[in-house]
């Protein structure tokens, strides 16, 4: 029996990069996958086809996770499609990088809304369901930046540090009902976000990674899948860094 057979997973920001890899990893384990996307419909369709090719059921829903009504609609669609939600992976996120002195209030607010408020809204929407089921796995995507900071990313670092605090707090609220809440903190991963880095920034990043390479989305996905599995049933409130040793 595959480890996610009979379970439904909801993945935010699942159309590209790490989110897409997580959708595929959960599908390989037998989960039915619901994922949301915000701006790239073609990428969402391609990810849905890839999930189906693995023999898993899939539902792709357009959703701005910073909007409570849209999040409620997303959860409703998942329940109408599959009847339950066993796993939530909060992956949706954006960047609006700049030095603090040049950062606009709008860019600060946008990152906090998408990365932090979005995770809050999704966790709030599924927590009651998981408590009733007396079962659930919540995995939040943090970042090495939230653990050690990074110049030019005050907004992003704040949002990801906030993810750590929310993860630990909610873990204490839900633990007695068999619901675990953990986080994965990726380092520099080969995604669309890192592909646009200038060569100098890329070289500096590599210099700070003991393993001397960027990670792959699939490596983050496997860590998230472990925390979403029954193998991690006695792990909650933890942050697992997948960063090649960067945050040591």
Among 4, 37, 82, 156, the active-site one is 156
Crossing angle of helices 68-82/118-133, nearest 10°?
40
Q: Are 45 and 51 in contact (CB under 8 A)?
A: no
Q: How many CA atoms lie within 13 A of 78 on its CB side?
A: 29
Torsion sign over Cα 189, 242, 113, 22? positive
Residue 156 among the catalytic residues: yes
Residue with tokens 């009979």: 6
Q: Which region, left, alpha or beta, applies to residue 245 given φ > 0 means left and ψ of -120 to 50 means alpha?
A: left
Closest to 218 in 3D by CA, of 87, 25, 26, 32:
25
Q: Which residues are designated catalytic?
A: 156
């Amino acid at each position: 029996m595959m480890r996610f057979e009979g379970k439904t997973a909801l993945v935010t920001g699942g159309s590209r990069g790490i989110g897409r890899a997580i959708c595929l990893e959960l599908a390989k384990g037998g989960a039915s996958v619901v994922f949301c996307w915000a701006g790239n419909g073609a990428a969402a369709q391609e990810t849905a086809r890839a999930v189906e090719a693995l023999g898993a059921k899939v539902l792709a829903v357009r959703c701005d996770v910073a909007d409570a009504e849209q999040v409620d609609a997303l959860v409703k669609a998942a329940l109408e499609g599959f009847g339950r939600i066993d796993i939530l992976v909060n992956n949706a996120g954006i960047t609006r990088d700049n030095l603090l002195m040049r950062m606009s209030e709008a860019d600060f607010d946008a990152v906090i809304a998408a990365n932090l408020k979005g995770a809050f809204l999704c966790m709030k929407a599924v927590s009651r369901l998981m408590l009733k089921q007396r079962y659930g796995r919540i995995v939040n995507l943090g970042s090495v930046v939230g653990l050690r900071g990074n110049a030019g990313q005050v907004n992003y670092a704040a949002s990801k540090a906030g993810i750590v605090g929310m993860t630990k707090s909610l873990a204490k609220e839900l633990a007695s009902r068999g619901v675990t809440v953990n986080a994965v903190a990726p380092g520099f991963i080969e995604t669309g976000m890192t592909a646009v880095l200038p060569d100098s920034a890329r070289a500096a990043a590599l210099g700070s990674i003991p393993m001397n390479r960027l990670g792959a989305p699939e490596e983050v996905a496997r860590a998230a899948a472990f925390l979403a599995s029954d193998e991690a049933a006695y792990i909650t409130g933890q942050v697992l860094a997948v960063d090649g040793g960067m945050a040591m």
